[in-house]
């Protein structure tokens, strides 16, 4: 058992950190205030291989694994969770779904430009009436003229407006419930496929979250992703990987909040000394560091199992559940350490806290993670 990153992984971690601090940090609050989605960052992320970390070099990726991928998401999120979730939705949801379940020609046509960062990806499972109960999808796909006619909508989709490629799910046989759901690939500009309402969010405001609408949208059968009726099952497998990235998002956000609290505790003087000399503040810092470390270990365990080809449903959900709830707690303590200043936008603590909350909701809420973990435990008992 090895708890340390190897030299190459450590080097990669440091170079992503340097990139985030030079290219992202100066703009974080400006993007947050304006809810600006920084699409201009995409070529820079692509240039250093961060848009296709998980995919083989033959498809334009970096040929690395989940340990490296989680490290990348953590480091980006330490500076800005919005960039972290953006790379995560692009990579472990959209691109990875095509990598895992696409045909060779779909991989050449869609995965290669996604992994190279020439294209941006979105993945649409959630609907207005179908969130945690994702198998109750109401979007339909009906066979016609060698293809499919799709009607319905998806909401809360990361990159719904800017994505070049969107993987989305529709019911091809409602009588079969979750076994009647099929995945499809949509290209930007396809007739009848259009983005809709952009959300005005509490946190991760520089990530783009919007709806997409399908109105008699025709796609050929070549755009069907995976076997007919296997879309939901495949989506659940994709989420096993995606949840590792939400754990990484939470760990990165918490790490950023923690570092800002440590810094501030040395600067702020009360009762004639820096507040970090009070044991009450020291204990908070000790608890925060311990919780972040525990979450990071769960994250790396799930990532490492994934890299070994293991089924990670329980490990991914445990990492996601613990890290996301830890993230909210740690970010709240970071505000507390900043006192009144933590409640203002002069310090980063309030933003970290706002950003952290999504982690307990996206890719399955904490309640759903507990259901999955319990199911896995009871299945094998
Ligand atoms: C910023 C952001 C980005 C997102 N990006 C994407 C994306 O790219 N693609 C995508 O497909 N989706 C995305 N989502 C959607 C996200 O995955 C859903 O919001 C999430 O799965 C919860 O669904 P819901 O919002 O409909 O809540 P609901 O399912 O309505 O849940 C409401 C509450 O009820 C609880 N609940 C529901 N069912 C049960 C149950 N059986 N037992 C106990 N409690 C239950 C939930 O835990 C929650 O507390 C995103 C959401 C946000 C906010």
Tens digits of residue pLDDT in 13-60? 999 999 999 999 999 999 999 999 999 999 999 999 999 999 999 999
> Would you say the CB of residue 362 lies under 6 angstroms from ligand 1?
yes
Token digits for 109? 């046509």
Q: Is the CB of 312 under 6 A from ligand 1?
A: no
Q: Kindly give the distance from the C-alpha atom of residue 376 to the centroid of ligand 1, in angstroms, as a whole number.
A: 21
pLDDT at 2: 86
Is residue 186's pLDDT more than 90?
yes
Q: How far is the CA of 104 from the centre of ligand 1 (A)?
A: 32
- Give the three-state DSSP class for 271: coil
**Confidence (pLDDT) at 45:** 98
Q: What is the pTM of this model?
A: 0.98
75, 277, 363, 367: which one is catalytic?
A: 363
- Sign of the alpha-carbon dihedral angle for 124, 126, 129, 134: positive
Checking if the pLDDT of 189 tops 90, the result is yes
**Residues 133-155: what's their mean pLDDT?**
97
pLDDT of residue 8: 98
Percent of the chain with pLDDT over 90: 99
Percent of the residues in the chain that have a pLDDT greater than 70, as a whole number: 100
Q: Whose CA is nearest to atom 16 of ligand 1?
A: 362
Distance CA 16, CA 274 (A): 32
CA of 239 to the centre of ligand 1 (A): 13
Atom of ligand 1 nearest to the CA of 371: 42
Q: Bridge-partner residues for 157, per DSSP?
A: 210
Residue 122: is its pLDDT beyond 90? yes
Query: How many angstroms does the Cα of residue 361 sit away from the middle of ligand 1?
Result: 6
For the chain, the average pLDDT equals: 98
Separation of CA 362 and ligand 1 centre (Å):
6
pLDDT band at 1, cuts 50/70/90?
A: confident
Closest CA to 228 of 289, 184, 191, 287: 184
CB-ligand 1 contact for 360 (6 Å cutoff): no
- pLDDT 10s digits, 49-103: 999 999 999 999 999 999 999 999 999 999 999 999 999 999 999 999 999 999 9
Q: What is the pLDDT of residues 230-287, one digit of tens each?
A: 999 999 999 999 999 999 999 999 999 999 999 999 999 999 999 999 999 999 999 9
Q: Are 276 and 285 in contact (CB under 8 A)?
A: yes
* Stretch 176-194: mean pLDDT: 98
Output the CA–CA distances (angstroms, integers) from residue 270 to 238, 246, 274, in the order listed: 50, 37, 6
Give distance in angstroms: CA of 358 to centre of ligand 1: 10
- Ligand 1 proximity of 367 Cβ (cutoff 6 Å): yes
Binding site membership of 84 for ligand 1 (Cβ less than 6 Å): no
Q: How far is CA 89 from the centre of its chain?
A: 5
Q: Which residue, among 182, 149, 162, has the nearest Cα to 38 in the 3D structure?
A: 162
Ligand 1 lined by 131 (C-beta under 6 Å): yes
**Whose Cα sits closest to atom 32 in ligand 1?**
132
Return the ∠ at Cα 206 (arms to 98 and 123), rounded to 5°.
20
82 pocket-lining for ligand 1 (C-beta < 6 Å):
no
136 close to ligand 1 (CB < 6 Angstrom): no
Q: Which atom of ligand 1 is nearest to the CA of 154?
A: 11
**pLDDT value of position 146:** 92
Question: Catalytic residue at 310?
Answer: no
Residue of 370, 228, 379, 230 lying closest to 311 (CA atoms): 379
Is the Cβ atom of 239 under 6 angstroms away from ligand 1?
A: no
> What is the mean predicted confidence (pLDDT) over 163-178?
97
The answer, yes or no, to whether any atom of ligand 1 lies below 6 A from the CB of 253, is: no
Residue 149, pLDDT > 90, answer: yes
State if residue 204 touches ligand 1 by the CB under 6 angstroms criterion: yes
- What band does 381 get if pLDDT is binned at 50, 70 and 90? confident
pLDDT grade for 380, boundaries at 50, 70 and 90: confident
Atom of ligand 1 minimally distant from the CA of 125 = 11
d(CA 17, CA 14): 5
Residue 171: exposure state from Cβ atoms within 10 A (0-12, 13-18, ≥19): buried
Distance 32 CA to ligand 1 centre (A): 23
pLDDT in tens, 332-348: 999 999 999 999 999 99
SS3 (DSSP) at 163: coil
Instruction: Determine the atom of ligand 1 nearest the C-alpha atom of 158.
Output: 8
Output the residue whose Cα is nearest ligand 1's atom 24: 131
* Cβ atoms of residues 63 and 72 within 8 Å: no
pLDDT on residue 155: 98
Taking the centre of ligand 1 as the mean of its atom positions, its distance from the CA of residue 281, in whole angstroms, is: 35
């Amino acid at each position: 058992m090895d708890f340390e990153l190897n030299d190459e992984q450590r080097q990669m971690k440091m170079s992503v950190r340097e990139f985030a601090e030079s290219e992202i940090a100066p703009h974080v609050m400006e993007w947050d205030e304006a809810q600006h989605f920084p699409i201009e960052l995409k070529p820079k992320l692509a240039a250093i291989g961060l848009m296709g970390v998980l995919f083989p070099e033959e498809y334009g990726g970096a040929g690395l694994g989940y340990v490296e991928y989680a490290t990348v998401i953590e480091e980006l999120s330490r500076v800005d969770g919005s960039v972290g979730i953006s790379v995560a939705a692009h990579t472990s949801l959209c691109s990875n779904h095509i990598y895992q379940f696409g045909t060779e020609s779909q991989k050449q046509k869609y995965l290669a430009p996604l992994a190279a960062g020439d294209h941006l990806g979105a993945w649409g499972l959630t609907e207005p009436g179908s969130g945690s109960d994702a198998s109750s999808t109401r979007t339909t796909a009906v066979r016609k003229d060698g293809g499919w006619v799709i009607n319905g909508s998806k909401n809360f989709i990361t990159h719904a407006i800017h994505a070049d490629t969107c993987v989305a799910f529709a019911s091809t046989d409602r009588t079969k419930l979750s076994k009647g759901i099929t995945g499809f690939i949509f290209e930007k500009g396809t007739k009848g496929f259009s983005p809709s309402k952009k959300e005005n969010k509490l946190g991760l405001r520089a990530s783009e979250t919007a709806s997409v609408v399908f109105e008699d949208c025709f796609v050929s059968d070549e755009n069907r992703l995976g076997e007919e009726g296997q879309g939901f099952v495949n989506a659940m497998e994709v989420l096993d990987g995606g949840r590792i990235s939400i754990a990484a998002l939470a760990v990165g956000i918490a790490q950023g909040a923690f570092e800002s609290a440590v810094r501030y505790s040395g600067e702020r003087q009360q009762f004639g000394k820096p507040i970090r000399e009070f044991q009450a503040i020291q204990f908070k810092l000790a608890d925060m560091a311990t919780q972040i470390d525990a979450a990071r270990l769960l994250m790396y365990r799930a990532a490492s199992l994934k890299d070994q080809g293991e089924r990670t449903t329980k490990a991914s959900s445990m990492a996601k559940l613990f890290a996301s709830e830890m993230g909210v707690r740690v970010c709240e303590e970071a505000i507390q350490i900043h006192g009144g200043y933590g409640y203002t936008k002069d310090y980063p603590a309030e933003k970290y806290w706002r950003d952290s909350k999504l982690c307990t909701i996206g890719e399955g809420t904490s309640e759903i993670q507990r259901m999955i973990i319990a199911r896995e435990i009871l299945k094998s008992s």
